[in-house]
Structure 1
């Protein structure tokens, strides 16, 4: 499975918001659960902070699904 690209207009976005925007989580509750259950990686490392700040080029994965953050 390839990595989808998700574009934002700001310099950064928080992990919980990005999971929803990228379609990796249906809503904030699911995003929180995925993060708490250590099912989310950022650039290959498990991330447990919902408010972690993502920047241009970061790759977020949940299982086999991956999304790369790109700033406009």
Structure 2
């Protein structure tokens, strides 16, 4: 299984944009299609909402790829 970590700079990121930002899809539209296909899990549950809000502490999975969303360190 491949594990990725995404640092969240805001309160949330939409799941389709997260997939784009970590490089799993080329566009937000492709991310929406992937979510609509039922291939995405959030915290172990199938996520079908294309713009579901993903917050720090959540885990998004696609096949054997797991993305851990963490809060960005303050004071960069």
Equivalent residue pairs, number: 72
Please list every run of at least 4 consecutive aligned residues from structure 1 whose deviation after the TM superposition is greater than 3 angstroms.
none
Corresponding residue for 1:22? 22
Q: Normalization by structure 2: what TM-score? A: 0.85
Question: Which structure has the bigger radius of gyration?
Answer: 2
Corresponding residue for 1:48? 48
Corresponding residue for 1:31? 31
Helix, strand or coil for the counterpart of 2:7? strand
Asked if residue 70 in structure 1 is aligned to residue 61 in structure 2, the reply is no
Q: Normalization by structure 1: what TM-score? A: 0.89
Structure 1: unaligned runs, 5 residues or longer:
none
State the Cα RMSD in Å. Answer: 1.2
Structure 2: unaligned runs, 5 residues or longer:
none
